[in-house]
Amino acid sequence: MPTSETGPAGTGAASRRPALIPIDRKRQPSGDEARTRAMKAAIGVIAEKGTAALRMSDIAARAGMSTGHILYHFGKKDRLLLEVLAWSQADLWARLQEAVDRAATPAEKLDLFVRFYLPTHQGDERYALWTQVLAQCHDEAGRQILTELLDSWDERLEAIVREGRDLGHFADVDLPEFTVRAVAMLSGLSEDVMFGRSRWQHASPHAFAVAALERELRPADRR
């Protein structure tokens, strides 16, 4: 349930509430512009109010659009939440891939994966969206969307580790088992950050995670 300091993470704690955009009913955005504006607004509103208290009118006010316009593009709230999450992750993955493509070694790519996965601070908007959407009940279609999003993070990590293993930089680990352990650790660290556990006030979850993964991936002849 990731986000990143180097990716388009939340712009700050929820207490810094952005100003509402005045509604210009003569010039309502259309198509992709409208959907993007609505989804960006939804991320901020969800971080402040949560999904249970979220109203379409809240998103409309934040985006400077009419409630009818929001309903036209997304219909019911459940659909909007899933689309916002999928859009948020696609945007983040594009930034992660761009950074990974510039990285010189598998170790650098692993470091980037961890950085993009973990929340940056307790009020991280993207991670708040993940946790709140996952906590809801979903129909089969919704569960399929969420499963694909979660699996996509696993696949990205496996690709990085596979490359490092094939180049001799990483140990010959069982990829599926390693991925389960790694993602479970990162998810636990993410929950710590979002909860504000005091043990991370003077320590870096990112550095802790990278060190743990590198220990497991270090080839036997380098230990």
The answer to the question of residue 10 being in a domain is no
Tell me which DSSP letter residue 1 carries.
Answer: -
Confidence at residue 137, expressed as pLDDT on a 0 to 100 scale? 86
Q: Are 60 and 69 in contact (CB under 8 A)?
A: yes
CB atoms inside a 10 Å sphere around CB 50: 12
Q: Which residues of 135-174 are buried (b: 16+ CB within 10 A; e: fewer)?
A: eeebeeebeebbeebbeebeebbeebbebbbeeebbbebe
The answer to the question of residue 21 being in a domain is no
The answer to the question of residue 13 being in a domain is no
The answer to the question of residue 138 being in a domain is yes
How many structural domains comprise the chain? 1
SS3 130: helix
The answer to the question of residue 106 being in a domain is yes
* Mean confidence (pLDDT) of the chain: 86
Domain that holds residue 108: 31-222
Nearest alpha-carbon partner for 30 in 69, 88, 79, 76? 69
The answer to the question of residue 7 being in a domain is no
What's the distance, Cα to Cα, between the start and end of the chain in Å? 32
How do residues 179-221 score in pLDDT, each as one tens digit?
A: 999 999 999 999 999 999 999 999 999 999 999 999 999 998 7
Confidence at residue 125, expressed as pLDDT on a 0 to 100 scale? 87
How do residues 2-47 score in pLDDT, each as one tens digit?
A: 665 444 334 344 444 454 444 444 444 456 788 888 888 988 888 8
- Report the CATH number at residue 176: 1.10.357.10
The answer to the question of residue 25 being in a domain is no
The answer to the question of residue 167 being in a domain is yes
- Mean of the pLDDT values across residues 145-167? 97
Confidence at residue 8, expressed as pLDDT on a 0 to 100 scale? 37
